[in-house]
Amino acid sequence: MEIPYYPGCTLKTTAKNFDDSAFAVYKKLGIELKELPRWNCCGTVYSLTSDDLMHHLAPIRNLIRVEEQGADQVVTLCSMCYNTLAQSNLRIQQNEEERDKLNEFMYKEKVKYDGKVKVLHGLTVLRDMVGYDKIKSQIKKPLDGLKVAAYYGCLLLRPKEVCIDDPESPTIMEDLIRTTGAEAVPFPYANECCCSYETVSNKDIVIERTRMITQSAQAYGADVIITSCPLCEFNLDNRQKEVRKKYPDHVDIPVLYYTQLLGKALGLPLKSLRFDLNYINPRELFK
């Protein structure tokens, strides 16, 4: 089965390990991620003011690209892209006047967009379209004994209108972890924000948050953290070097995209999983 795929900017640059591992994993599970032939940056954040329609053009244009493919759904893997596309889509669906205005702005587009495209996240595709039983049956190298903490962060869960699971007690990633034979370790910081883009303007708060999140996962026994957001990944993975500088007793914990973990359990070749692009070396985990 083929699904149109919207990668977003970061999966083509610093999160190439997410992109490459996802292509391999979904393919193995019978889903062809078909990258949209044309796409643009969604803007990464959903605009929150009532009068700012302009910033919904970027996400909506991508949904027009999906309709141009004759499709009615699109999958994305990045939590921020997912959130932005899904929230803009919802706004268009619920507000006719704004929908007309936006379509007028985009008068050069051949398609008039009416909010019909379904925005999916990669995790829900695994849960709802592939099914965890099927995934379990395809596991070649069970990750027995490995303890994995799922870090959701914010944008898969909030606001609740676009949440992919229960907003306060999600299990979608833990259930996925269990299909690989690994143990899922719940921990209290799983839905706590890493402070996101503050990593540019106020690195210190991110260092503190990263310390709390990574050390909490370790305190609950985790060997590795998985995530689906390239910004969370950067904060939790790369910023640990700054945590270590400030708190010399900090012990590093590797951070992986969920597709990398799953790929390993599916027995996919290492070169498709691109562990070389993770900051803290995860290879030791699988020795």
Partner 1 sequence: MKVKLKIDREESLREKVEELSGENLLKCYQCGRCSGGCPSIASMDLIPNQVNRYIMLGLDEEVLNSKTIWACASCFTCSQRCPKGVNLPKIMESLRQIRIRKNVDIVSVDELTPKERMELPTIALVSCLRKMSS
Q: Which of 28, 34, 35, 45 binds partner 1 (CB under 8 A)?
A: 45
Residue 218 lies near partner 1 (rule: CB under 8 A): no
Whether 142 contacts 180, CB under 8 Å = yes
Instruction: For the CB of residue 83, give the shortest distance to partner 1 in the complex, in Å.
Output: 9
Q: Which stretch binds partner 1 (CB under 8 A): 135-143, 205-213, 250-258, 267-275?
A: 205-213
Residue 285 lies near partner 1 (rule: CB under 8 A): no
Residue 49 lies near partner 1 (rule: CB under 8 A): yes
Cα distance between residue 21 and residue 266, in whole Å: 11
Residue type, 251: V
Cα distance between residue 134 and residue 145, in whole Å: 21
Within residues 74-103, the interface with partner 1 by CB under 8 A covers: 78, 80
Q: Which stretch binds partner 1 (CB under 8 A): 134-142, 228-236, 246-254, 257-265?
A: 228-236
Cα distance between residue 164 and residue 155, in whole Å: 9
At which residue do the structure tokens 């299909």 appear?
Answer: 179
Radius of gyration, alpha carbons of the chain = 19
Give the binding-site size for partner 1 (rule: CB under 8 A).
46
Instruction: For the CB of residue 239, give the shortest distance to partner 1 in the complex, in Å.
Output: 10
Distances (CA, A) of 71 to 19, 63, 89, 150: 21, 10, 15, 31
Within residues 145-164, the interface with partner 1 by CB under 8 A covers: 154-155, 157-160
Residue among 62, 229, 239 nearest 157 (CA): 229
Residue among 19, 83, 73 nearest 259 (CA): 19
Cis preceding linkage at 159, omega within 30: yes
Q: Which of 202, 245, 271, 283 binds partner 1 (CB under 8 A)?
A: 202
Q: Which stretch binds partner 1 (CB under 8 A): 47-55, 133-141, 178-186, 265-273?
A: 47-55
Residue 248 lies near partner 1 (rule: CB under 8 A): no
Q: Which stretch binds partner 1 (CB under 8 A): 44-52, 131-139, 173-181, 254-262?
A: 44-52
Tokens of 84: 């932005």
Tokens of 79: 């939590």
Residue 201 lies near partner 1 (rule: CB under 8 A): yes
E strands, 50-190, in order: 73-76, 118-121, 147-150, 183-184
Residue 7 lies near partner 1 (rule: CB under 8 A): no
Binding residues for partner 1 (CB under 8 A) = 8-10, 13-15, 41, 43-45, 47-52, 55, 78, 80, 154-155, 157-160, 167-168, 192-202, 204-205, 208-209, 230-231, 234, 238
